[in-house]
C-alpha cells in the first residue's frame, strides 16, 4: 500500500530533491500547494491578511521539517496537517481578535450582478449550514469537498479510519440536506 | 437486523457517489444493491452544490505570496558554513585546550632533561626491570648514574652519628648533646633543684 502511495504522490520526488539540497524543489512545492493551504487556512482564519501570515508560517515550518519527512503520508496531507495545526494555534492565540459577525472583507466585496445574487445567497445559506455541523463531520466534509482529498488523506488528517471518514461524510451530507430542507431534497 | 444492515449501506452512499473507486468491491456491491431505494439524486445534488461553492474570501496575489514565502524561508535558512560553525569551533577549541595542557606541564624544571631520556625513563618505569640493572636514579630533577658509586662510602655513613640532628644549631630545637656528658652527681643536683622549684 505504501508503494502505491509513493507512486501516486507526485510531490514525493520534489521532497527527495529538496532533501538532496535542491532549494528550487521546495519553491515548486510552494507553487503547487500555496493555494490549497491558503484555502484551508482561510476557513479557520477569517481575516485575509492573517490567513496570508499563517500560510507563510505553514511553509516556513514545512521548510524546517521537510528534511525529516519520511513519507508516512502524502506530502500534501502532511502540509495540510501543518496548516490545520498552525491555524488552530493561531486561533488560540488570537481568540478575541477574530471577527464574529460581519467580515470586513465581505463589506468591501464588489457588488454582484442581480443574476448572481441568488447564487450568492444560496452560498451564504450553505456555509451557515456547514457551520452547524459537528466538528468532525465538518472537517471531513470540507477536506473532501473543498480540498479534494482522498478518503485516505481525509482519514489521516481527521485521525480516524478510512471507513469512519466515509461514514462521517455521509452524515454530514445528510445533515446538510436536513438543515437546508426541501430546496435541496 | 435488516435495518442495521441498511444503515451500514446508507453510511457508504455519499462516499460511493463521490468516489466509487475508493470503495471496496464488497462495499460497492452493497451500495449498488441499495441505490434504487434511496434518493441518490438528492445526495448527488447536495455534493455538487458544495463543490460549486467559491472559496471564502478574496484570493491573494499568488506570485506575491510565493515571493513572500521564499523571503521568509530565506530568513530561517542557515548557510552551510554557519551550520558547521558551532561544532567545528567547539572541536578546534577543545583541541587547542588539549595542546596547551600538554605543552604547559606544571613543573617546567622537570621538562629540562632531553625528551629522549625522559621518554626512556617513562618506558622504563612502566616495565619491571631487574634490580641489578637499575643503575640510574632520578634525583632532584636530574638523572644520576649510581653504578660507579662506592657502596662502602655510601653505606658507611649509615653507622656514623647523625651529625645533622646533633650539631645543627640552626634547627628548631636547642642542641642538648651536653646532657650526655653529665655525671651522676650533677644529675642528682639538677633533680634536687627541680624538686625545689616545684614545691
The C-alpha of B35 sits at a distance from chain A's nearest C-alpha, in angstroms, of 14
State the pLDDT at residue A56: 96
Residues A105 and A51: their CA atoms lie apart, in Å, by 12
Task: Give whole-number Cα distances, A42 to A38, A50, A78, in Å.
Answer: 6, 9, 18
State the pLDDT at residue B127: 55
Helix, strand, coil percentages (3-state) for chain A, rounded to 5, are 80, 0, 20
Of A54, A65, A61, the residue nearest A15 (C-alpha) = A65
CB atoms within 10 A of CB A14: 20
- Checking if the pLDDT of B85 tops 60, the result is yes
The C-alpha of A185 sits at a distance from chain B's nearest C-alpha, in angstroms, of 5
Contact A135, A171 (CB under 8 A): no
ipTM over 0.95: no
Task: Give whole-number Cα distances, A98 to A16, A57, A60, A90, in Å.
Answer: 38, 18, 23, 10
Contact A71, A15 (CB under 8 A): yes
pLDDT, one tens digit per residue, over A23-36 is: 899 999 999 999 99
Does A170 sit within 8 Å of B15, measured CB to CB?
Answer: yes
- Checking if the pLDDT of A82 tops 90, the result is yes
Which of the two residues, A180 and B148, has the higher pLDDT score?
A: A180
Q: Whole-number mean pLDDT of chain B?
A: 74
pLDDT, one tens digit per residue, over A95-122 is: 776 655 444 444 344 444 444 545 678 8
Give the CA-trace dihedral at B13, B17, B23, B25, to 10 degrees. Answer: 90
- Which residues touch A14 (CB under 8 Å, ≥6 apart)? A25, A26, A28, A29, A32, A75
State the pLDDT at residue A76: 92
Q: What residues in A contact B42, CB-CB < 8 Å?
A: 177, 184-185
β-pairing, B136-139 vs B142-145, is antiparallel
- Residue B19 CA from chain centroid, whole number: 59
- Checking if the pLDDT of B138 tops 80, the result is no
Which of A27-31, A74-78, B85-89, B150-154 is least confident?
Answer: B150-154
Q: What residues in B contact A60, CB-CB < 8 Å?
A: 69, 72-73, 76
Backbone dihedral angles phi then psi of residue B136, each to the nearest 5 degrees = -120, 140
State the pLDDT at residue A38: 95
Shortest CA distance from B22: residue in chain A: A151
The CB-side HSE value for A183 (13 A sphere, CA atoms) comes to 7
- Does the pTM surpass 0.90? The reply is no
pLDDT, one tens digit per residue, over A57-67 is: 999 999 999 98
Contact A31, B66 (CB under 8 A): yes
- Which residues touch B124 (CB under 8 Å, ≥6 apart)? none
Amino acid at each position: 500500500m505504501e508503494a502505491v502511495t509513493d507512486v501516486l504522490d507526485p510531490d514525493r520526488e520534489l521532497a527527495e530533491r529538496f532533501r538532496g539540497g535542491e532549494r528550487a524543489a521546495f519553491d515548486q512545492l510552494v507553487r503547487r500547494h500555496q493555494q490549497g493551504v491558503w484555502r484551508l487556512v482561510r476557513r479557520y482564519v477569517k481575516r485575509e491578511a492573517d490567513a496570508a501570515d499563517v500560510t507563510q508560517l505553514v511553509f516556513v515550518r514545512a521548510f524546517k521539517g521537510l528534511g525529516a519527512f519520511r513519507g508516512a503520508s502524502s506530502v500534501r496531507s502532511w502540509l495540510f496537517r501543518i496548516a490545520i495545526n498552525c491555524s488552530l494555534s493561531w486561533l488560540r492565540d488570537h481568540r478575541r481578535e477574530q471577527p464574529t459577525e460581519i467580515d470586513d472583507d465581505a463589506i468591501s466585496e464588489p457588488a454582484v450582478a442581480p443574476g448572481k445574487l441568488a447564487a450568492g445567497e444560496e452560498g451564504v445559506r450553505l456555509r451557515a449550514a456547514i457551520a452547524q455541523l459537528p466538528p468532525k463531520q465538518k472537517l471531513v466534509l470540507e477536506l473532501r469537498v473543498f480540498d479534494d482529498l482522498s478518503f485516505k488523506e481525509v482519514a489521516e488528517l481527521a485521525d480516524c479510519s478510512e471507513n469512519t471518514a466515509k461514514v462521517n461524510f455521509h452524515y454530514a451530507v445528510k445533515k446538510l440536506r436536513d438543515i437546508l430542507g426541501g430546496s435541496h431534497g | 437486523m435488516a435495518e442495521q444492515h441498511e444503515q451500514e449501506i446508507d453510511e457508504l452512499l455519499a462516499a460511493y457517489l463521490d468516489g466509487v473507486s475508493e470503495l471496496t468491491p464488497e462495499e460497492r456491491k452493497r451500495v449498488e444493491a441499495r441505490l434504487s431505494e434511496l434518493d441518490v439524486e438528492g445526495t448527488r445534488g447536495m455534493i455538487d452544490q458544495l463543490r460549486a461553492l467559491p472559496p471564502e474570501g478574496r484570493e491573494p496575489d499568488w506570485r506575491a505570496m510565493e515571493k513572500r514565502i521564499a523571503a521568509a524561508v530565506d530568513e530561517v535558512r542557515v548557510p552551510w558554513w554557519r551550520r558547521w560553525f558551532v561544532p567545528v569551533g567547539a572541536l578546534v577549541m577543545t583541541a587547542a585546550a588539549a595542546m596547551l595542557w600538554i605543552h604547559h606541564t606544571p613543573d617546567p624544571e622537570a621538562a629540562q632533561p632531553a625528551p629522549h631520556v625522559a621518554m626512556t625513563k617513562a618506558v622504563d618505569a612502566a616495565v619491571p626491570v631487574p634490580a641489578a640493572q637499575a643503575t640510574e636514579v632520578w634525583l632532584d630533577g636530574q638523572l644520576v648514574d649510581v653504578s660507579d658509586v662506592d657502596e662502602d662510602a655510601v653505606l658507611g655513613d649509615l653507622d656514623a652519628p647523625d651529625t645533622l640532628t646533633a650539631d645543627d644549631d640552626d634547627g628548631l630545637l636547642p642542641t642538648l648533646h651536653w646532657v650526655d656528658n653529665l655525671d651522676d652527681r650533677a644529675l642528682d643536683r639538677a633533680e634536687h633543684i627541680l624538686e625545689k622549684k616545684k614545691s
